[in-house]
Structure 1
Amino acid sequence: MTRDAIARDDHAEGNVGIVLTAMRELFVDKDLTAIDRYWAEPYVQHSPRMPSGLDTLRDVVPGLEGFSWEPQRIAAQGDLVFTHSIVHGWAPGPVAIVDIFRLDEGRIVEHWDVVQDIVAPEESVNGNPMV
């Protein structure tokens, strides 16, 4: 492995730690000051139901009831961090969410997600769990 590849891996690993801490502090602990520590403007949101900008997070988080975020898989490449999680309290039932975060200088500046209702393996045509 080259020195550049090692540096990129270290960078990605550091970004994973930032995302995990940021998500726990904001969404689980409901600490709105986490936004100032881990996110930065311009915050570009690609989720179809949320506008861009950090004020959206400040408005949404306090109203989340029974919210839990349980990351099952995490991957990173350079400035991108990918999480595959079980989430309660975002939708009427539990959902599987793949979140993609882009970081710039250690701060989350962009977000994409894919959200699916969780279907039990015995109700799925393939019999496999979703997460």
Structure 2
Amino acid sequence: MESNKEIVLKVLKGAFIERDVSVVERYFSPDYVQHNPVIRNGSGAIATLIPTLKKDLSYEIGMVVAEGDLVMVHGRYVGWGPKPLVAVDIFKVRGGRVVEHWDVMQEEVPAAATASGNPMFSPA
């Protein structure tokens, strides 16, 4: 049996790296609840989104934290908007299916322009 962390990583890799629509049928609940303001509820919204992703969109996975039915992934999207975006995606997983998703995204600031000199994102 796959852990919730493994399921979420397969979802993110399948959707944003491999552009594999079959991850929706395998890993999303039909009653999937979406909290991103530009994506509808339901697994069909994700199945419709994946083929429309720009060819130059890339996604990198950073830290992953899992506890109970929640999995959080710190990631970096390049090509989603005019500047790279650093995000925390939060997934609720039940019975081997993603049932809910939230995200927090912000434009990436280069390390040289941060007060600390530290980058906002470091790959895992």
Scaled by the length of structure 1, what TM-score is found?
0.84
The answer for the alignment partner of 2:8 in structure 1 is 19
Say yes or no: does 1:105 pair with 2:100: no
Q: Which has the higher helix share?
A: 1
Equivalent residue in structure 2 for 1:114, among 104, 113, 121: 104
Cα deviation code 1:18-37 (max 9, x no counterpart): 11112111221111111000
- Measured in 1, the distance between the counterparts of 2:73 and 2:62 equals 7
SS class of match (1:16): helix
Residue 108 of structure 1 aligns to which amino acid in structure 2? V
Q: What's the RMSD between the two structures over aligned residues?
A: 1.6
Code of the residue aligned with 1:28 in structure 2: it is: I
Query: What code does the residue aligned with 2:68 have?
Result: G
What's the offset of the Cα at 1:92? 2.1
Distance 2:80 2:24 in 1: 19
Alignment match, 1:70:
60
Task: For residue 14 of structure 1, report the CA deviation from its aligned partner.
Answer: 1.0
Deviations 1:1-50 (A, max 9, x none): xxxxxxxxxx9x81111111121112211111110001112110011221
In structure 1, distance between residues paired with 2:29 and 2:49: 17
Aligned residue pairs: how many? 120
Structure 1 segment 23-102 matched on structure 2, within 5 A: 23-65=12-54, 66-102=56-92
Identity of aligned residues (%): 39
Larger radius of gyration: 1
Amino acid of the structure 1 residue aligned with 2:106: Q
Task: Give the 4+ runs in structure 1 shifted more than 4 A.
Answer: none
CA contact (8 A) 1:69 1:88 kept: yes
d(CA) in 2 for partners of 1:87 and 1:60?
Answer: 15
CA offset at residue 99 of structure 1? 0.2
| AA in 1 matched with 2:104 | V
Structure 1 residue runs of 5 or longer lacking an equivalent are: 1-10
